[in-house]
Each structure stands twice: as C-alpha cells, then as structure tokens.
C-alpha cells in the first residue's frame, strides 16, 4: 500500500431471494482472502502505519438475533479466532469514519460494489469538503484496492495450491461418479444432485458455480443451467461442474455419451476438441502470454473446423474473418481461485495492449469447445446439435504446469471402458 494510506474492505451482505428469505451467503473473496472472517456485514480497516494495523468491524453478539439467524463471532471472536488487532461493533463504523479517514493521503476502497457503504463514505467526504477550516483532512486520493488484491490472488502460494488440488479432486471424483451413473432416461437434474451431494459429502461447501448439465443440443447453450431435461440414448451429455472447497473453486468440464458409446460423428468432433485441449494445456507455460494462448486455440480449432467440413477456406482468412466464432465463441480459459473467474488483470498495461505472460503459481482453466447449432444448415447433418467442451485446471510451474484435474479421464476409450462397468 502507498505511504500514509488506509484501506476499507467490506464483507459481502446477505442477498434477498424473495420476501424474507435469502440466498445462501457467500463471502466476498477479497475480504475472505485478507481476513478469513466468514460472516456478512463486516468491514476490515487496514492501517499499515498503526501499531495495531488490522481492525475488524463486525456484527455484535446478540442472543435474540443468534437464536433466529445463527451464531456470531462478535468482537471477542474476531480478535480471538481471526487475528484482528482490534474489533468494534459494526454499528459504530459510520461514527468512526472520521477517525479512520482523517490524516491519510490515500484511501483504498472499491466503489460501486457496496452502494450503501459508498454513500456512507461519500457522505463523510462531502461533509468534510464543505468544512475547509477543519485541521484534519480526509484522503485526497481514492484507489481501487483490487489493484493490489488482484495481484496477490493471481499468484497462488503452496497452501492455496493444496486447497485448489482438494477442490479439484472432489470435483474430479464427482465427474467420475457421473460417468459411472449416467444412463438414457435419467434426468439432467438427477446428475446435478448426485454430483452436488457427492461434493458436499467430501467436505466441499457446495458447487463453485451453477452446474451446467446439458444433454444433446442443450450442450450448445454455453450457460445452460436449467438442468431439467431427460437424457436421451444416442446423445452426448456435457457436464461443467466444480466444487468450492475452503473458498477455492475448481472448474471441470467433461462431455461423454449418455449410452456409454460415442457415435462415429460424435467421436470425430470429440477428437478434434481433445487434441486442441491437450495442446493448449502444453501451451499454458512460462514464456507464453494469455492472449497468445487464445490465438493458438483459435488457430487449432479453425484447422479442426476445416477438417470436419464446418468451414472452408484458408485458415488465416477464416481467422481474420472470425469465421470460427460460429462454433467457438468463448475464451480458452481464465484465472481460477477463490472466484471461478478469478481476480487479476489479463493485461499488464492500462491500454490492454500487452497481454500478461504466464508465471509460476498462476492457476488457469483450459477449456476449448465446439458447438454446432442444431439448425445450422451449413454444417454436415451428422454434426448438428453436437456440443463438446473439455476443461481442466492447471497451475503454471517453473518447468511446465500441473494438471489439477487429471484424475477424471478425458480419453474417449477410457471413458467408454469406465461407463461399460456401470450397472
Ligand atoms: N463454468 C464456467 C466456466 O467454465 O468458465
Ligand atoms: Mn471455466
Ligand atoms: Mn467450466
């Protein structure tokens, strides 16, 4: 942090689902990363120059509220269990704001996330600006703390990688369970609940994002999350599901035949995607940039589309015209961590012209796909309605990378052999 600065980092709040019920609480990842504190409505104040740099404002203990809505750490727990130098009731935050801000040149605070807190802070600053005679002055510069936290979160340390491996293992096993269970006639929702139950059983808080369980041409809808259709004999199923473990996300996609055997046409498309996916994993190493990897995936998949007869023409012309977008319309991967699409800038300059080079400790997904719309008259009929994505999670190392999700096979012969053993 800058010389003579202070940071205000809010926790998340509960979000109303309807009337008087809330969605399951999910802590703000930056707040979690910095404090570990699991409750809503807290605020961390970090003052690097103070003798006691870390203050947590938290919900106070309250027997009535705790009887209705659950246990609270209170100010005692915030100090004792979460290492706060000092803890204060959140009710006092607004009144303390002057004391917190005055005399610091720079405030690290992310505007436009917590609108109520924005108003509290702006309210105080507004009040001070019109009172020029005051001896103390509020910060003259406000900076987005995610410039710092994004960089911290982007580079995973050993402990984080251990947690990510665990999140990956749990999800990988859930995908294996799905391969061993899927049969024609089953509903997508049954696959979803089977996998989620498994993840929770193994210690995950739940899924890291809404699972995508798409049978047949539902797989060509990128964010298909209805997951409520029967699985048909002869169709593929695309499962994109990850686990959240100690806050960390895994993000795995596998595509396999509902009846346990790829058709010839399905296998042709699958083999193209698998070959590209393996090559893109090998490309996710020190020396390459994020943008180069995207371009590499586009080039390989455009070649694949030509090979399948989906596109015709010179590869470079097709790339220039972005012809591939019809069948491959997303990125080949993203940072992964506390968020499934994790924090950290993809460019190293403000103009977003210099793509970030990969470095040891970065966690990324590798997830090329091909999606052939069911009504695409220009595609060979045998491929229409086929959607395939294969996604693994890797950590960049000094010498290459580690595939965290290798435990769930993507080899089509191995998938068929595994499925042949199901009851
Ligand atoms: N499941 C979200 C993604 O793959 O990016
Ligand atoms: Mn992903
Ligand atoms: Mn995914």
For 234-259, what is each residue's pLDDT tens digit?
A: 999 999 999 999 999 999 999 999 99
Structure tokens at 349: 């300059």
Residue 100: give its domain's CATH number.
Answer: 3.40.350.10
Structure tokens at 397: 């190392």
Proximal ligand: closest to the CA of 207: 1
Residue 12 has pLDDT above 80, yes or no: yes
User: Span 65-84, mean pLDDT?
Assistant: 97
Residue found under tokens 């109520």: 116
389 assigned to active site: yes
Burial 224-238 (b: 16+ CB within 10 A, else e): beebebebeeebbbb
Per-residue confidence (pLDDT) for residue 137, from 0 to 100: 82
- Domain final residue pick, 151, 169, 191: 151
190 and 287 assigned to the same domain: yes
Confidence of residue 128 (pLDDT cuts 50, 70, 90): confident
183 and 119 assigned to the same domain: no
User: Span 255-270, mean pLDDT?
Assistant: 98
Per-residue confidence (pLDDT) for residue 268, from 0 to 100: 98
Residue 179 has pLDDT above 90, yes or no: yes
Long-range contacts of 51-57 (CB under 8 A, 24+ apart): 52/85, 52/86, 53/85, 54/83, 54/84, 54/85, 54/86, 55/84, 55/85, 55/86, 55/87, 55/88, 56/82, 56/84, 56/86, 56/87, 56/88, 57/87, 57/88, 57/89, 57/90, 57/92, 57/93, 57/96
133 and 163 assigned to the same domain: no
User: What average pLDDT does the structure give for the chain?
Assistant: 96
- Say which residue, 127 or 174, is predicted with more confidence: 174
Is 168 within 8 Å of 252 (Cβ atoms)?
yes
Taking only the tens place, the pLDDT of each residue in 352-386 is: 899 999 999 999 999 999 999 999 999 999 999 99
**Minimum-distance ligand 1 atom for the alpha carbon of 241:** 1
155 assigned to active site: no
User: Span 313-339, mean pLDDT?
Assistant: 98
Q: H/E element holding 303? A: helix 290-308
Per-residue confidence (pLDDT) for residue 127, from 0 to 100: 86
- Domain final residue pick, 95, 130, 151: 151
269 and 395 assigned to the same domain: yes
For the residues of 125-150, what is the DSSP string, one character each? HHHHHT-TT-SS---SEEE-THHHHH
Residue 423 has pLDDT above 70, yes or no: no
- Domain final residue pick, 126, 151, 176: 151
230 and 291 assigned to the same domain: yes
Residue 218 has pLDDT above 80, yes or no: yes
61 and 27 assigned to the same domain: yes
Write the residue with the smallest CA distance to atom 3 of ligand 1. Answer: 251
Confidence of residue 132 (pLDDT cuts 50, 70, 90): low
Per-residue confidence (pLDDT) for residue 131, from 0 to 100: 72
Q: How far apart are CA 109 and CA 201, in angstroms?
A: 38
107 and 22 assigned to the same domain: yes
76 and 174 assigned to the same domain: no
Q: How far apart are CA 308 and CA 271, in angstroms?
A: 11
Q: Which residues surround ligand 2, an ion (CB under 5 A)?
A: 251, 365
Residue found under tokens 């798409």: 214
Q: Which domain holds residue 48?
A: 5-151
Is residue 124 left, alpha or beta, with left meaning phi > 0 and alpha meaning psi from -120 to 50? alpha
Residue 47 alpha carbon to ligand 1 centre in Å? 36
Per-residue confidence (pLDDT) for residue 135, from 0 to 100: 64
User: Span 326-344, mean pLDDT?
Assistant: 98
Find out whether the beta carbon of 251 lies less than 6 Å from any atom of ligand 1. Answer: yes
337 and 224 assigned to the same domain: yes
Taking only the tens place, the pLDDT of each residue in 182-212 is: 999 999 999 999 999 999 999 999 999 999 9
102 and 222 assigned to the same domain: no
Residue 334: give its domain's CATH number.
Answer: 3.90.230.10
Rg (CA), the chain: 25
Q: Give residues with Cβ within 8 angstroms of 420, minimum separation 6.
A: 260
User: Span 334-352, mean pLDDT?
Assistant: 95
Q: How far apart are CA 394 and CA 401, in angstroms?
A: 6
81 and 48 assigned to the same domain: yes
Per-residue confidence (pLDDT) for residue 307, from 0 to 100: 98
Per-residue confidence (pLDDT) for residue 368, from 0 to 100: 98
Taking only the tens place, the pLDDT of each residue in 222-233 is: 999 999 999 999
Residue 275 has pLDDT above 70, yes or no: yes
User: Span 2-31, mean pLDDT?
Assistant: 97
Q: How far apart are CA 409 and CA 418, in angstroms?
A: 9
106 and 168 assigned to the same domain: no
Q: Beta 236-241 vs 54-58: how paired, if at all? A: unpaired
How many structural domains comprise the chain?
2
User: Span 57-64, mean pLDDT?
Assistant: 98
Residue 160 alpha carbon to ligand 2 centre in Å? 18
């Amino acid at each position: 942090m800058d010389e003579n600065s202070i940071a205000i980092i809010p926790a998340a709040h509960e979000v109303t689902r309807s009337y008087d019920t809330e969605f399951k609480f999910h802590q703000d990842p930056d707040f979690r990363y910095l404090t570990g504190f699991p409750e809503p409505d807290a605020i961390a104040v970090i003052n690097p120059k103070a003798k006691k740099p870390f203050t947590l404002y938290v919900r106070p203990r309250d027997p009535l509220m705790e009887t209705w809505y659950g246990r609270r750490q209170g100010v005692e727990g915030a100090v004792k269990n979460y290492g706060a130098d000092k803890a204060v009731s959140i009710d006092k935050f607004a009144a303390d704001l002057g004391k917190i801000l005055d005399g610091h040149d720079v405030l690290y605070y992310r505007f436009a996330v917590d609108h109520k807190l924005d108003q509290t802070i702006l309210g105080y600053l507004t009040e001070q600006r019109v009172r020029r005679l005051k001896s103390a002055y509020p910060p003259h510069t406000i900076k987005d703390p995610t410039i710092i936290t994004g960089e911290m979160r982007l580079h995973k340390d050993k402990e984080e990688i251990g947690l990510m491996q665990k999140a990956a293992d749990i999800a990988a096993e859930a995908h294996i369970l799905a391969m061993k269970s899927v049969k024609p006639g089953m509903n997508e929702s049954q696959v979803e609940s089977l996998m989620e139950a498994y993840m929770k059983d193994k210690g995950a808080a739940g899924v890291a994002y809404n699972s995508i369980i798409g049978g047949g041409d539902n797989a060509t809808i990128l964010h298909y999350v209805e997951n409520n259709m029967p699985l048909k004999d002869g169709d593929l199923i695309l499962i994109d599901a990850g686990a959240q473990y100690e806050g960390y996300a895994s993000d795995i996609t596998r595509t396999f035949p509902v009846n346990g055997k790829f058709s010839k046409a399905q296998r042709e498309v699958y083999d193209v995607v698998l070959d590209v996916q393996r090559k893109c994993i090998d490309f996710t190493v020190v020396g390459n940039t994020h943008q180069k990897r995207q371009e590499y995936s586009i080039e390989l998949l455009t070649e694949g589309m030509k090979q399948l007869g989906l596109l015709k023409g010179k590869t470079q012309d097709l790339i220039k015209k972005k012809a591939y977008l019809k069948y491959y319309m997303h990125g080949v991967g993203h940072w992964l961590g506390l968020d499934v699409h994790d924090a950290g800038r993809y460019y190293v300059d403000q103009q977003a012209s210099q793509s970030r080079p990969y470095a040891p400790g970065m966690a990324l997904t590798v997830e090329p796909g091909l999606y052939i719309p069911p009504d695409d008259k220009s595609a060979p009929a045998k491929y229409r309605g086929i959607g395939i994505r294969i996604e693994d999670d890797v950590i960049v190392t000094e010498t290459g990378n580690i595939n965290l999700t290798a435990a769930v096979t993507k080899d089509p012969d191995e998938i068929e052999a595994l499925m042949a053993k199901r009851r």
